[in-house]
């Protein structure tokens, strides 16, 4: 019997700082998440839930199936516990077995040795089960992670394949693009909702406006790609059912007020290509424009953006001047909320205002702050007074 016919613990890997958003997303999908340590959240589910998590979660990096958990303080203990798993119920005879290892505050910390002992145990178990002296490993890849935290080992099987930030719409990379998962998290951390105007004045390849449109139209981010778990040996075929669920949830008749601007016409060309591939080109407005000319006739909108940090795209003094001008532009939109992610330490000083809230987030490996400026509450109408 395949383990994929039963229930198991599902592990969601998410970036540090956005665990609460991913948990909220899981609850919306009908799951009860537990634990959120070191960017790992779990829930109980079956194979269909693994696919639903892959297709619907906007902020998760990866979905894994928990295969085994035990305590190991020596390589013998690691080997014996790995050997006990019925790997023949999980892996086909020709599986290409890739083992990755992580360790924190544990007796076993040499990653190469952890990988090779774990792999040796898996191979021995498979050879015994299939009655062969050698495995060909010529088939599909199976990525197994051995994560050891305080001597507690979690053995998981990657169910995503490519990272979940790869939605399938961004095939061309712009300058310093933002991860799709992080853009979706920033939107969900903000007060934006699809009825409110949204502007990204430094939109680059369009990640923030595109993710906003996907949220606004309720398009599941993983609808247009495949996942490692779909090729698992003995796994039930549930894609059609989950795909149908995702299609039925789309609301294409919604009007959005989402705009992206960038001073670089090539960036806007790229953003338009990406928007088209994501199926949202007709719902967002993308245009070449200098942030310094930004204004809006709409009220109570949201500016949410990822400006140059001064690390890859601009020199420090140019960035300072840009942030000063950006501050002046934002002050004119005085009933708008402003959200900015940057790693530039003196951002508030140059922008000209202390943020109401700051959250530490990571853009790939770069430590950033997410500065949040809330608008004053709406003025009460004369009739209310």
Ligand X SMILES: C[S@@+](CC[C@H](N)C(=O)[O-])C[C@H]1O[C@@H](n2cnc3c(N)ncnc32)[C@H](O)[C@@H]1O
Q: Write out the residues near ligand X by the rule CB under 6 A.
A: 174-178, 201-205, 207-208, 261-264, 267, 290-292, 306-308, 313, 322
List, in sequence order, every residue forming a beta bridge with 81; answer none if it has no partner. none
Instruction: Give the nearest distance from C-beta 335 to ligand X in angstroms.
Output: 22
Q: How far apart are CA 339 and CA 307, in angstroms?
A: 11
Is the separation of the CB atoms in 52 and 30 below 8 Å? Answer: no
Q: How far apart are CA 242 and CA 308, in angstroms?
A: 39
Instruction: Give the nearest distance from C-beta 81 to ligand X in angstroms.
Output: 43
Is residue 16 helix, strand or coil?
coil
Nearer to ligand X, 95 or 182 (CB): 182
Instruction: Give the nearest distance from C-beta 168 to ligand X in angstroms.
Output: 16
Chain Cα centroid distance, residue 343: 19
Q: How far apart are CA 182 and CA 312, in angstroms?
A: 19
Q: How far apart are CA 356 and CA 176, in angstroms?
A: 27
Nearer to ligand X, 221 or 308 (CB): 308
Instruction: Give the nearest distance from C-beta 84 to ligand X in angstroms.
Output: 46
Is residue 139 helix, strand or coil?
coil
Q: How far apart are CA 239 and CA 245, in angstroms?
A: 10
Instruction: Give the nearest distance from C-beta 208 to ligand X in angstroms.
Output: 6
Nearer to ligand X, 66 or 176 (CB): 176
Nearer to ligand X, 125 or 342 (CB): 342
- Residue tagged 């989402």 (tokens): 258
Structure tokens, 206: 């369009």
Q: How far apart are CA 291 and CA 334, in angstroms?
A: 16
- Between the alpha carbon of residue 336 and those of residues 199, 248, 294, 349, the distances in Å are 10, 33, 13, 20
Instruction: Give the nearest distance from C-beta 210 to ligand X in angstroms.
Output: 9
CB atoms within 10 A of CB 382: 6
Nearer to ligand X, 129 or 313 (CB): 313
Nearer to ligand X, 203 or 217 (CB): 203
Nearer to ligand X, 111 or 313 (CB): 313
Q: By Cβ distance, which residue is nearest to ligand X? A: 204
Instruction: Give the nearest distance from C-beta 167 to ligand X in angstroms.
Output: 12
Instruction: Give the nearest distance from C-beta 57 to ligand X in angstroms.
Output: 19
Nearer to ligand X, 157 or 213 (CB): 213
CA dihedral 162, 114, 2, 166 (to 10 degrees): -10
């Amino acid at each position: 019997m395949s383990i994929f016919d039963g229930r198991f613990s599902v592990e969601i890997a998410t970036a540090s700082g956005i665990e609460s958003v991913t948990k909220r997303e899981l609850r919306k999908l009908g799951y009860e998440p537990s634990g959120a340590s070191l960017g790992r959240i779990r829930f109980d589910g079956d194979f269909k839930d693994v696919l639903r998590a892959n297709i619907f979660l906007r902020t998760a990096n990866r979905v894994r199936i928990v295969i085994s958990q035990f305590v190991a303080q020596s390589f013998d203990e690691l080997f014996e516990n790995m050997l006990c798993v019925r790997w023949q119920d999980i892996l086909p005879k020709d599986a290409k077995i890739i083992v990755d290892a992580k360790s924190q505050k544990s007796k076993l910390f040499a990653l190469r040795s952890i990988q090779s002992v774990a792999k040796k145990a898996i191979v021995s178990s498979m050879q015994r089960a299939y009655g062969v002296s050698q495995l060909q490993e010529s088939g599909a890849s199976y990525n197994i992670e051995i994560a050891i935290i305080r001597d507690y080992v979690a053995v998981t099987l990657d169910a995503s394949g490519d990272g979940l930030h790869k939605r399938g719409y961004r095939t061309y990379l712009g300058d310093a693009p933002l991860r799709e998962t992080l853009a979706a998290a920033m939107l969900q951390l903000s007060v934006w909702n699809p009825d409110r105007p949204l502007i990204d004045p430094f939109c680059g390849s369009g990640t923030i406006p595109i993710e906003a449109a996907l949220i606004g139209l309720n398009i599941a981010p993983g609808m247009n790609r495949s996942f490692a778990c779909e090729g698992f040996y003995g796994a039930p075929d549930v894609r059609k059912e989950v795909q149908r669920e995702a299609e039925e949830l789309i609301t294409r008749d919604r009007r959005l007020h989402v705009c992206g601007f960038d001073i670089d016409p090539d960036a806007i060309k790229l953003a338009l290509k990406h928007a088209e591939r994501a199926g949202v080109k007709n719902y967002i407005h993308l245009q070449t424009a200098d942030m310094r000319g930004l204004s809006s006739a709409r009220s109570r909108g949201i500016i949410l953006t990822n400006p140059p940090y001064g690390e890859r795209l601009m020199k420090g003094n140019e960035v300072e001047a840009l942030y000063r001008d950006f501050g002046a532009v934002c002050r004119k939109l005085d009933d708008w909320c402003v959200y900015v992610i940057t790693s530039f330490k003196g951002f508030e000083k140059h922008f000209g205002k202390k943020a109401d809230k700051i959250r530490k987030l990571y853009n790939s490996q770069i430590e950033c702050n997410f500065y949040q400026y809330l608008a004053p509450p709406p003025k009460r109408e004369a009739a209310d007074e």
